[in-house]
Amino acid sequence: MSRHAALRLEEKPNDVLLATLDRPEVANAFDTGAALELCELFEPFQAEQRYRCVVVTGAGDRAFCAGADLKERNTLSDAQWRSQHETFERMFRAVRDCPVPVIAAVNGAAYAGGLELVLHCDFAYASASAKFALTEVSLGIMPGGGGTQTLPRVVGERRAKELILAARPFSAEEALAWGVVNRLCPPGRVVAEALEAAGRIAALAPLAVRQAKRAMREGLHRDLASAMQIEIDAYNRLVGTEDRREGLRAFNEKRKPKFSGR
């Protein structure tokens, strides 16, 4: 386990990493330092995929993440605010562009930037008691971590407008029904179930998982013909890999494959 000022990292079996936002005294809100720690975690994945799946959660059972630390923001000038927000933009971009799967384990409230963080993960599990909201317009700002773009893509334009323009909180049950989260978990089980899902992903061919993620991410908002070409390009990158050959050998030998990521 490694411990930073705001982020607790735990290596799990099968190259799974559990990253816990560890500022429970402020509902795991991220300040500039926490945002930089998330950048330092996720940006190196572009060059070296040490882990096969990442699970992100919050410390305690009250909050996943309440978004930006408003006590810190209360001290900032306009110029400092904009500078800080550039760091937040970098953080969200690092999570969004991570080539390996990222699962959110939403253990409590996910508000403002906390919900935006969930929406930048590949999918999410949530505690049945979790709550969600993009509350920014109630503070005189608006979502700036992708919320006006990611939420409509998940729940639809008209529902997203209701939620964002009215700063309307919504429940875990609504989040499940609308596709914001994939599963609701009993109290205390969300991290364990997210880690189980991460373990299933990590047991599969890592190059194939990354290319499948890339094809979905890059293709979903293109026209179908362009998206199909993105898929074929990703597929063809796997044909010459040792993992592709090992998968075929294992199938014909009726054994479990041993994928090496090569």
Q: From the candidates 40, 43, 136, 162, which is the catalytic residue?
A: 136
Provide CB contacts within 8 A for 50, sequence distance 6+.
15, 44
According to DSSP, residue 124 is labeled E
AA letter at 73: R
SS3 104: strand
Contact present, 64 and 108 (Cβ < 8 Å): yes
136 is catalytic: yes
CA neighbours closer than 13 Å in the CB half-sphere of residue 47: 4
Distance between CA atoms of residues 258 and 180, nearest Å = 34
List 25, 86, 116, 173, catalytic entry: 116
Cα 191 to the chain's mean position, in Å? 14
CA-nearest of 111, 109, 130, 116 to 183 is: 130
Cα 156 to Cα 101: distance, rounded to the nearest angstrom: 24
Please give the structure tokens belonging to residue 18: 């559990």
Catalytically active residues are 116, 136
